[in-house]
């Protein structure tokens, strides 16, 4: 969808100005200017996010939903506004559909545990994909084991895309949910949400989309996507760590049992019986990450002001530049060639182990991830134990892509000695 939108040539971003919004981009590492290309792992924070958290603690802090005093009221109102902001951001029908959690991982665990406990039985099947992050595998594996259900996996093609024909054949009468990563954290592949949702809906199967990697690159509208659950983390959206979002349709959340018990999630507690708070508080036991929530709302405001069309256009330009430069290094092998990809790619270097490359690049001030990226089954699928992953964000530049390419050439050189 954003491809069509960006065809209208959005205004180019002033990247130098954007870079000044992120104080950390001014520092150096190992005596070199920092080239931060590990954005799929976590993004850096703009000053406005840092200030929002800091101001909350220095001027407005109190716990929410507890005090009758003004400070607590103000904190509660700010928290509620943040939830409304997130609801608007993802196109939810109501803030009641927004549950704050620690991150994508906790969101999937919440769904697997609460929804899975009441919807999965012996012989049932959970359909996932071969490019899931471990957080899209293990929570389902755990609940499947508990409930006597099993996992089925949509295979990945050589181009790094989901095999949709095979997916069709994997739905059975026992398929209870389809849980898929929307954008691959390792390959950058944008999976065809529309086709997958249509496939599931035709069989009455609910869909969870893991939007952890979607959210910093593409606009999300849950109604348009047609999924039933959408989850993401704040820290991959230039927001704080320890805050994430579970969106689900209200009637689904309403029918789900609580995930954790404790304060805030109750209505009336006696030793005989407890009644639960209405949505979304039923799923927010204990004191939540209030400062992080406000920081997330600030990050959303920041990204929205830049505009997703402009972000996508900038990243597409960078990715084209990067891929062209990489093709000039004969030892580089980019994993997969998906038709639709965000600025995330995994590569291997002939004759250089990814960890050695990671260290040599680090000495050049370049931060990339070297390893299995929490997708061991996907690595096995491509027959590599690990890769080097470069992932772009809105503040990256063509010069930084060039630095990476030169750094990779240097890695090859070191091992040719």
Partner 1 sequence: MSELRDLYQEVILDHSKKPRNFRMPVAVTHEAHGRNPLCGDTFTVFVDVENGTIKDIGFQGHGCAIATASASMMTESLKGKSLQDGRALFEWFHRLLTTPPDVGTPAGPLGKLAVFSGVREFPVRVKCATLAWHTLKAALDREAKAVSTE
3-class DSSP assignment, residue 275: strand
121 binds partner 1 (CB under 8 A): no
Of the candidate residues 42, 76, 376, 397, the single one contacting partner 1 (CB under 8 A): 376
- Burial annotation 83-112 (CB, 10 A radius, 16+ → b, else e): bebbbebbebeebbbbbbbbbbbbbbbbbb
d(CA 309, CA 394) in angstroms, rounded, equals 11
385 binds partner 1 (CB under 8 A): yes
Least distance from partner 1 to the Cβ atom of residue 359, Å: 6
Please, which residue, 326 or 379, has the CB nearer to partner 1?
Answer: 379
163 binds partner 1 (CB under 8 A): no
Stretch that binds partner 1, among 36-44, 160-168, 289-297, 364-372 (CB under 8 A): 364-372
Stretch that binds partner 1, among 236-244, 245-253, 296-304, 370-378 (CB under 8 A): 370-378
| CA-CA-CA-CA dihedral for 349, 366, 103, 141, to nearest 10 | 20
Please, which residue, 174 or 353, has the CB nearer to partner 1?
Answer: 353
223 binds partner 1 (CB under 8 A): no
Of the candidate residues 12, 23, 24, 30, the single one contacting partner 1 (CB under 8 A): 30
Q: How many CB atoms lie within 10 A of CB 390?
A: 31
Residues 6+ apart with CB under 8 A from 172: 125, 152
353 binds partner 1 (CB under 8 A): yes
Of the candidate residues 282, 372, 381, 389, the single one contacting partner 1 (CB under 8 A): 372
Quick check: is 411 catalytic? no
Catalytic-role residue among 227, 374, 401, 411: 374
Of the candidate residues 180, 303, 379, 390, the single one contacting partner 1 (CB under 8 A): 379
Task: Return the biggest CA–CA distance within the chain.
Answer: 74
Of the candidate residues 84, 301, 309, 356, the single one contacting partner 1 (CB under 8 A): 356
d(CA 223, CA 214) in angstroms, rounded, equals 15
d(CA 273, CA 314) in angstroms, rounded, equals 55
Pairing status of strand 344-349 against strand 332-334 = antiparallel
Residue positions annotated with a catalytic role: 374
């Amino acid at each position: 969808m954003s491809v069509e939108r960006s065809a209208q040539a959005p205004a180019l971003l002033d990247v130098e100005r954007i870079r000044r919004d992120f104080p950390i981009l001014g520092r150096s590492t190992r005596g070199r200017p920092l080239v931060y290309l590990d954005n799929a792992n976590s993004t850096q924070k703009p000053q406005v996010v840092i200030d929002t958290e800091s101001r909350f603690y220095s001027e407005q802090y109190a716990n929410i939903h507890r005090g009758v005093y003004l400070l607590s009221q103000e904190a509660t109102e700010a928290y509620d506004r943040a939830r409304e902001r997130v609801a608007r951001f993802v196109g939810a029908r109501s803030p009641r559909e927004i549950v704050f959690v620690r991150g994508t991982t906790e969101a999937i665990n919440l769904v697997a545990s609460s929804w899975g406990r009441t919807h999965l039985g012996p012989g049932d099947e959970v359909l996932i994909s071969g490019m899931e992050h471990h957080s899209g595998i293990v929570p389902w594996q755990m609940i499947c084991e508990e409930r006597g259900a099993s996992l089925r996996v949509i295979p990945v093609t050589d181009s790094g895309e989901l095999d949709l024909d095979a997916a069709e054949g994997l739905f059975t009468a026992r398929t209870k949910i389809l849980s898929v990563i929307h954008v691959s954290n390792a390959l950058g592949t944008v999976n065809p949400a529309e086709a997958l949702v249509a496939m599931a809906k035709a069989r009455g199967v609910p869909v969870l989309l893991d939007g952890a990697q979607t959210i910093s690159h593409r606009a999300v509208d849950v109604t348009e996507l047609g999924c039933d659950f959408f989850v993401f983390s704040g820290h991959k959206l230039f927001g704080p760590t320890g805050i994430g979002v579970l969106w689900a349709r209200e009637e689904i959340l309403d029918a789900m049992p609580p995930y954790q018990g404790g304060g805030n999630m109750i209505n009336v507690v006696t030793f005989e019986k407890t009644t639960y708070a209405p949505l979304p508080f039923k799923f927010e036991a204990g004191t939540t990450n209030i400062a992080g929530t406000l920081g997330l709302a600030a990050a959303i405001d920041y990204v929205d002001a830049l505009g997703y069309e402009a972000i996508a256009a900038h990243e597409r330009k960078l990715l084209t530049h990067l891929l062209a430069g990489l093709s000039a290094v004969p030892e580089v092998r980019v994993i997969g060639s998906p038709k639709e990809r965000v600025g995330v790619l995994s590569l291997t270097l002939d004759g250089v182990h990814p960890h050695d490359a990671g260290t040599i690049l680090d000495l050049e001030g370049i931060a990339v991830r070297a390893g299995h990226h929490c997708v061991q089954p996907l690595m096995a699928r491509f027959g590599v134990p690990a890769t080097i992953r470069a992932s772009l964000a809105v503040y990256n530049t063509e010069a930084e892509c060039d630095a990476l390419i030169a750094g990779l050439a240097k890695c090859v050189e070191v091992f040719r000695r």
